[in-house]
Amino acid sequence: MSNEKKRSWAEPYKIKMVEPVKMTTPEERQKAIREAGYNTFLLRSEDVYIDLLTDSGTSAMSDRQWAGMMLGDEAYAGSRNFYHLEDAVREYYGYKHIVPTHQGRAAEHIISQLMIEEGDFVPGNMYFTTTKLHQELAGGTFVDVIIDEAHDPESEHPFKADIDLSKLENLIKEKGADKIPYVSIATTVNMAGGQPISLGNLKEVRKLTQKYNIPIVHDMTRVAENAYFIKQREPGYENKSIKEIVKEICSLTDSATMSSKKDALVNIGGFLALNDDELFDKARNMVVIYEGLHTYGGMAGRDMEALAIGISESVDYDHIRARVGQVQYLGEKLLEMGIPIVKPIGSHGIFLNAKKILPQLSQDQLPAQSLSAALYLDSGVRAMERGVVSAGRNPDTGEHNYPKLELVRLTIPRRVYTQAHMDVVAESVEAVYNNAKEIKGLKFVYEPEYLRFFQSRFEVL
């Protein structure tokens, strides 16, 4: 055992195809970020050296998945790939029915429209941007019932995505169970820093919601990563497989929305999974309006095949250990350098604490947006703002929402970058950190109505 610790260890794959990336000069980067209105979403990807904007749709597919792409059955109705996908969802996740969608937010749209009524409240373990917006568009109000530790970047709580049961029960008592169409549970919680929920907590939530007859809708976008943390940290699960843990999580929920672009290792796709026959019928009816027939829902047959294979690969222990391990490697390196990041290190990325790195900027001066622009300028590394810009405005008052967390996310695509890339990223973050006093704030010069972080433009203050 002690010998095993000292031995080096590498990714459980080798590289068969490469995609060159462009190195840019500081002058080129200055021009590119200015033209992008200091918004990393508006950069052209060819001007990016290491792209850590997101882990969404950016995975490298395996040779098995590429082989599956050649087996696409592009029939309009009843494609065999749909049935493979349905089998995979039943086998690995245990849900009874599946409605394919083009990506996660489309599944959120359908379930929100079907279950939420004007004036409803939807409690959840922290918000996600698209999830919350669809709840609001359906007439609901999102209520955060995550434990307080989740909002504290210094807290080392091992399960920061846990629900605060008294917050949840108080809400049910205050509003009435009939005003709560479902509880929204994400595995893992993206905006908290890729933090997991424990099975112990989920079981308690299940008990409480059953008492009031409230269903649970599971955002299972990164469920395998959550399962890996449960195996690592939760007593009683150390000898269970990732597949078993994933299935147990799903068994405690009623429906699920999935963005397959993350855990499930494909570049596009998603689905809604349901156990309730009546709800499935309604969802199947609605998908034909917005996405496509219920046996493709906006996905090509080949993409459904790649997804069915990706689901099986996502629960492989060696895969998930390497994936989360690479994120931990970068995080530990940054911690050694003294950089303030969200702790514990999450599963899909490192979240830099922009409030701490740029104490000279107020939240109105958009510290996380400024920091992500500065990082791109230093090295061509692209990160994503996850602070006041992402939090948007309060629909009633029109004021900015001011989240406690003002973060820059360095998100690691799956099976794409090497350890050397991680070293380059860490050195760039260190250089920016050492020069942080010089970084100026930003102000909005253009702000769209919905999901403003995608398309807003800024100027240096």
Residues that bind ligand P71 (CB under 6 A): 54, 56, 103-105, 128-131, 186, 190, 219, 221, 259, 261, 270
Q: Which helix (H) or strand (E) holds 309?
A: helix 301-314
Smallest distance, ligand P71 to C-beta of residue 378, A: 22
Active-site residue, 129 included: yes
Kindly name the residue from 29, 247, 262, 409 that is annotated as catalytic: 262
Q: Which helix (H) or strand (E) holds 244?
A: helix 242-251
Residue closest to 407 by CA, chosen among 150, 161, 219 = 150
Establish whether 262 is a catalytic residue: yes
Residues 6+ apart with CB under 8 A from 149: 155, 157, 160
Establish whether 76 is a catalytic residue: yes
Residues in Cβ contact with 249 at an 8 Å cutoff, skipping those fewer than 6 apart: 187, 199, 202, 218, 220, 223, 226, 227, 230
In the complex, least distance from residue 348 CB atom to ligand P71, rounded to whole angstroms: 7
Closest CA to 382 of 373, 395, 392: 373
Catalytic entry in 31, 34, 64, 76: 76
Alpha carbon of 44 to those of 31, 282, 377: distances in Å? 12, 40, 14
CB of 202 to ligand P71, least distance (A): 16
- The nearest distance, CB 133 to ligand P71, in angstroms, is 9
Measured from the CB atom, is 190 or 379 closer to ligand P71?
190
Q: Work out whether the CA dihedral 41, 43, 44, 46 comes out positive or negative.
A: negative
Among residues 386, 409, 414, 452, the one annotated as catalytic is 386
CB of 188: closest distance to ligand P71 in angstroms?
8
Q: 44 catalytic, yes or no?
A: no
User: Of these residues, 128, 228, 237, 417, which one is catalytic?
Assistant: 128
Q: What is the SS3 assignment for 437?
A: helix
Residue nearest ligand P71 (C-beta atom): 104
Active-site residue flag, 128: yes
> Of the two residues 57 and 158, which places its CB atom closer to ligand P71 in the complex?
57
Nearer to ligand P71, 261 or 323 (CB): 261
In the annotation, is 386 catalytic? yes
Residue 298 CB: number of other CB atoms within 10 A?
18
Q: Residue 84 or residue 261: which is nearer to ligand P71 going by CB?
A: 261
b/e per residue 58-88 (b: at least 16 CB within 10 A): bbbbbeebeebbeebbeeeeebebbebbbeb
229 belongs to the catalytic site: no
Is the peptide bond prior to 413 cis by the omega test (within 30 degrees of 0)? Answer: no
CB of 3 to ligand P71, least distance (A): 39
Return the number of the residue (120 or 263) whose C-beta is nearest ligand P71: 263
Helix crossing, 223-233 with 242-251: angle to 10°? 110
Residue nearer to ligand P71 on the CB measure, 249 or 436:
249
Pick between residue 218 and residue 436 the one whose CB is nearest to ligand P71. Answer: 218
Which of 271, 296, 453, 458 is the catalytic position?
A: 453
Helix-helix angle 301-314:80-88, to 10 degrees: 20
Please report how close the Cβ of residue 8 comes to ligand P71 at its closest, in angstroms.
Answer: 31
Catalytic residue (choose from 24, 40, 129, 295)? 129
Residues serving a catalytic function are 76, 128-129, 219, 262, 386, 453
